[in-house]
Amino acid sequence: MPSFPCEACGAPVEITGHDYDVKCKKCGDKRPFKCSKCQRRIGLDMIYHPERLTFKKPIFCQECGSETDFVQCSQCTQSLMRANSVEKIVNGDTHFYHKECYISAIKLQKRVLPVAAIALAFIVGYLFYMLCTHWSLFVIGGIIGIFAGKKVSDLFAPK
């Protein structure tokens, strides 16, 4: 894991995965980094290309990095700076999202999944039961319905 010294207290600040609220564990500072070019203290949300952080510096803020690296949000289609985006690979293509758009899409998918799975499980199970009037087909239909509910909830996943 990459680790950088906190600019406030000097304690090591570890970067783990897609942790958007990185703060120093010792002093609690949410802006533990310093831009290598302009020397301004910055947080992880202000770092240019945070996904490229390695054990070595330099670390650049968005203003010192690149001002022309704009991408389009795959959810709301508005432009955003690549350094601010959530980057996901979907079907081999790289998609970019505003952090808020991505989080709301994931929350919506998590709400739709159980409802769709239960509803389709009962509907498909009941149809199987009505066609053959045997309880075991109700169970088999219910299992098929759960998988169909998962497919329905995938329609609400970030695209």
Q: Give residue-wise pLDDT tens across range 73-96.
A: 888 878 777 666 777 776 677 788
How does residue 19 score in pLDDT terms, banded at 50, 70 and 90?
A: low
Burial of 42 (0-12, 13-18, 19+ CB in 10 A): buried
Q: Give residue-wise pLDDT tens across range 28-73.
A: 888 888 888 788 888 877 777 776 666 566 788 877 776 546 778 8
